[in-house]
Amino acid sequence: MTETAAPPRANSKKLFIRTYGCQMNVYDSDRMTDALLPHGYEPTTEIGEADLVLLNTCHIREKASEKVFSELGRLKELQAERRSQGHDVMIGVAGCVAQAEGEEIARRAPVVDLVFGPQAYHKLPQMLEQAQGRRHLPDALKRAVVDTDFPEEDKFTKLPAARKDVTIARGLTAFLTVQEGCDKFCSFCVVPYTRGAETSRPLEQVLAEARNLVAAGVKELTLLGQNVNAYHGLDGNGRSVGLGELAYRLAEIEGLERLRYTTSHPRDMDDALIAAHRDLPLLMPYLHLPVQSGSDRILKAMNRRHTADEYLRLIERIKDARPDMALSGDFIVGFPGETDQDFEDTLAVIREVGYASAYSFKYSPRPGTPGASLTEQVPEEVKNERLQRLQALVVQQTQAFNASMVGRTLPVLIERVGRQAGQVGGRSPYLQAVHLEGSPDLIGAIHQVEIIGTSTNSLVGRLPVAQAA
Ligand code: SAH
Ligand code: SF4
Ligand code: F3S
């Protein structure tokens, strides 16, 4: 990696990326920025001054997907305004909606210059050049540049490494995609179609990126994958390495203090990964392990290929290895055919597990997925009611979990100044936000913090008396 901290060029263009969806899109947006920096684009947080606006989109539920089109309507106005001031703005749609809808986006929204899926990000500079070449054509002849191929080549070897100064500016925690795509085909989900088949990055490639991040000052890495624990990267000898072994290898990197990963599938939680939780103190005791439903009938219809009981037994094994493991989950209510009893079974699983946090969604039929053509769709009112009940239970659990921290002293990675003057903020091992009074000098390291209270979504802490004095 070249570490030239080049100053912004005088003729630099401004890039604005709006990111929707999951953490992988956050990671990808940064990689798109990294790919464009050498081509004279500097990131901006002001959409009004952008020369290029990219929407990095999410297709997971209908609402997420429709947001893109309302945003494109607003961008059309922005473009007209910029043009009236003698500037112009190019518009690109990336991410999972782009992958799923391709040409259709350009047809529905002619303002769009570029449409490209997640496997094309390394080609962004060339695509932009191509789109630029088409700009002076009369409107009737202008077509968007569209790339939704799944190429054979490895985009990760083509994407430039992040510049050191850019990594530093992004903060002390970083995402690192190690695995992409999904072969599970849960019957509700678009991801296998938008992200393609499961692939894992080679071990050395992951280690090299991790070392670069840590050398720039990153203290905490979150490994990403749609099925991150299905990771099976090849080592230098062509041997397949699982996520557990990857964790041991990452633990050898000096200066890396915390390691997390998301999202895991229960079927891929193997013994090696569970053992890593027992052995590696840097592997944080917080696991996002979605179950979606607590009813075996619905789990089967969802094609999750495990039962509720298998999930509960798995959690027992994980807790045997790491007794303080906090759990998080995803739930879908109102999958086609879900009865009151099925829903009660889901609540029962939630009660048994006791989550530190959980995300829950109303089932949204997605085009092209098997679930969408099932006949017994659940009425919207029923979904609403179930979602409310489920969320009320989860809120109680999260509050109880947070309250159980009061009086304890937790290691907190202090990451930033707080919202209020004189405060700093960071995260506990269990991913809880923690705020405390303290000097900005604390930022950048893990400090022992005494938890003295909770607020809605965070913990309130203070430095132990000896240190505060
Ligand atoms: N790869 C992850 C999840 C990706 S999507 C996993 O396997 O767990 C994130 C969450 O969105 C899912 O866990 C699921 O709860 C929810 N989700 C996915 N498709 C959905 C749909 N069609 N309707 C409602 N929620 C959905
Ligand atoms: Fe979607 Fe299921 Fe794959 Fe997760 S495991 S990405 S929910 S198909
Ligand atoms: Fe959304 Fe694509 Fe992530 S559909 S959740 S952005 S993988």
Residue 142: per-residue pLDDT = 80
423 and 363 inside one domain: no
Any idea which residue has 């309507």 for tokens?
A: 73
Residue 141: per-residue pLDDT = 77
Q: Domain of 439: which CATH number? A: 2.40.50.140
Its sign, for the CA torsion 144, 149, 152, 157, is: positive
- Examine the pLDDT at 4 and tell me if it is beyond 60: no
Its sign, for the CA torsion 405, 408, 411, 413, is: positive
Q: How many domains, the chain?
A: 3
Mean pLDDT of the chain: 94
What stretch of H or E contains 462? Answer: strand 458-462
- What is the band of 276 on the pLDDT scale with cuts at 50, 70, 90? very high
266 and 325 inside one domain: yes
Residue 405: per-residue pLDDT = 98
Q: Which of 147, 180, 195 lies at the terminal end of a domain, its last residue?
A: 147
Q: Domain of 213: which CATH number? A: 3.80.30.20
**Phi and psi at residue 328, in whole multiples of 5°?**
-135, 155
CB 129 within 8 A of CB 35: no
Ligand 3 centre and the CA of 334: distance in Å?
20
- Known binding residue 256? Answer is no
28 and 106 inside one domain: yes
Q: Which of 123, 147, 171 lies at the terminal end of a domain, its last residue?
A: 147
pLDDT in tens, 368-423: 999 999 999 999 999 999 999 999 999 999 999 999 999 999 999 999 999 889 99
| Whether the CB of 228 sits within 6 Å of ligand 2 | no
- What is the band of 20 on the pLDDT scale with cuts at 50, 70, 90? very high
Which residues does a 6 A CB cutoff place in the pocket of ligand 3? Answer: 21-22, 24-25, 58-60, 95-96, 190-191, 194-195, 226
**Considering every ligand atom, which ligand is closest to the CA of 61?**
1
Residue 154: per-residue pLDDT = 86
Chain centroid, CA 346 distance in Å: 25
Q: What is the C-alpha to C-alpha distance for residues 143 and 450, in angstroms, rounded to an integer?
A: 59
Residue 10: per-residue pLDDT = 52
Q: Which of 403, 421, 452 lies at the terminal end of a domain, its last residue?
A: 403
Residue 467: per-residue pLDDT = 59
- What is the band of 9 on the pLDDT scale with cuts at 50, 70, 90? low
Structure tokens at 62: 């209908």
Q: Which residue is closest in CA terms to ligand 1's atom 1? A: 226
85 and 162 inside one domain: no
131 and 82 inside one domain: yes
Average the pLDDT over 209-230 and give the result: 97
Residue 137: per-residue pLDDT = 81
Angle formed by the axes of helices 308-321 and 340-353, nearest 10°:
10
- What is the band of 2 on the pLDDT scale with cuts at 50, 70, 90? very low
281 and 348 inside one domain: yes
pLDDT in tens, 158-213: 999 999 999 999 999 999 999 999 999 999 999 999 999 999 999 999 999 999 99
**Considering every ligand atom, which ligand is closest to the CA of 197?**
2
Structure tokens at 96: 């999972």
**Considering every ligand atom, which ligand is closest to the CA of 97?**
3
- Known binding residue 50? Answer is no
398 and 417 inside one domain: no
- Examine the pLDDT at 345 and tell me if it is beyond 50: yes
363 and 261 inside one domain: yes
Average the pLDDT over 425-454 and give the result: 97
Q: Which residue is closest in CA terms to ligand 3's atom 1? A: 58
Chain centroid, CA 2 distance in Å: 27
Domain that holds residue 176: 155-403
Beta-carbon contacts of 245 under 8 Å, excluding residues fewer than 6 positions away, are 272, 276
- Examine the pLDDT at 3 and tell me if it is beyond 50: no
- Examine the pLDDT at 1 and tell me if it is beyond 90: no
Q: Domain of 105: which CATH number? A: 3.40.50.12160
Residue 128: per-residue pLDDT = 95
Ligand 3 centre and the CA of 64: distance in Å?
9
CB 57 within 8 A of CB 65: yes
261 and 334 inside one domain: yes
DSSP string of 53-81?
Answer: EEEEE--SSHHHHHHHHHHHHHHHHHHHH
pLDDT in tens, 84-96: 999 989 999 999 9
- Known binding residue 303? Answer is no
| Whether the CB of 226 sits within 6 Å of ligand 1 | yes
135 and 191 inside one domain: no
Average the pLDDT over 342-361 and give the result: 98
**Considering every ligand atom, which ligand is closest to the CA of 226?**
1
The ligand 3 atom at the shortest distance from the C-alpha of residue 59 is 4
Ligand 1 centre and the CA of 309: distance in Å?
20
pLDDT in tens, 112-162: 999 999 999 999 999 999 999 888 787 777 889 999 999 888 899 999 999
206 and 269 inside one domain: yes
Residue 134: per-residue pLDDT = 87
Ligand 1 centre and the CA of 218: distance in Å?
29
| Whether the CB of 262 sits within 6 Å of ligand 2 | no
464 and 382 inside one domain: no
Residue 347: per-residue pLDDT = 98
- Known binding residue 99? Answer is no
pLDDT in tens, 282-339: 999 999 999 999 999 999 999 999 999 999 999 999 999 999 999 999 999 999 999 9
